Amino acid sequence: MQVLVTYFSRTGHTKELAGEVARGVQEVDSVDCLLKPIAEVTKEDFLHSDGIIIGSPVYFGGMAGEMKAMLDSFVGVRPKMADKVGAAFATSGDLSGGKETTLIALLQVLLIYGMIVVGDPMDATGHYGVSCAGAPDAVTRANGAKLGKRVAELVKKLKG
């Protein structure tokens, strides 16, 4: 079983949060974590992963174009993506700069890929995913790990 954690990041905030999400995945036995920037992800990575967690900076209230372009380009594998587990994370510049609209946009893509979409667990925030303004602080980093762990545990329940 494998969970792919993938992200776009220009200045490092989203990459840092991705590392914490991956740390959470790695806490779960028998589930491998593949951590990669979206530019290096292949269609095979999508196909071979049982869970996919995607993260983007907020660009003009939505996901970065680089992330959307890759998600668009993988449309050919969509028929084989059903029932994989999906989740999202995001970083913004401003507190009300569009974290939730971005998380929803990311989740919407995973939903249309046919995946089972989840938010972050109740012991994190119990909402749309993990997000922060600027670099992730200690609470956000811990919540990122909880999101990764949740997805890995669900993968194990569904596919193990």
Ligand X SMILES: Cc1cc2nc3c(=O)[nH]c(=O)nc-3n(C[C@H](O)[C@H](O)[C@H](O)COP(=O)(O)O)c2cc1C
Candidate residues 6, 26, 92, 140; the one interacting with ligand X per rule CB under 6 A: 92
Residues binding ligand X: number (CB under 6 A): 18
Q: By CB under 6 A, name the one of 24, 98, 121, 144 that touches ligand X.
A: 98
Contacts of 12 (CB under 8 A, 6+ apart): 135
Of all helices (H) and strands (E), which one includes residue 105? helix 99-112
Q: How far apart are CA 65 and CA 73, in angstroms?
A: 12
Is residue 46 a contact partner of residue 81, using CB atoms and an 8 Å limit?
A: yes
Contact range with ligand X by CB under 6 A, out of 33-41, 56-64, 78-86, 145-153: 56-64
- Residue 65 makes contact with ligand X by CB under 6 A: no
Q: What residues line the site for ligand X (CB under 6 A)?
A: 9-15, 57-61, 91-94, 97-98
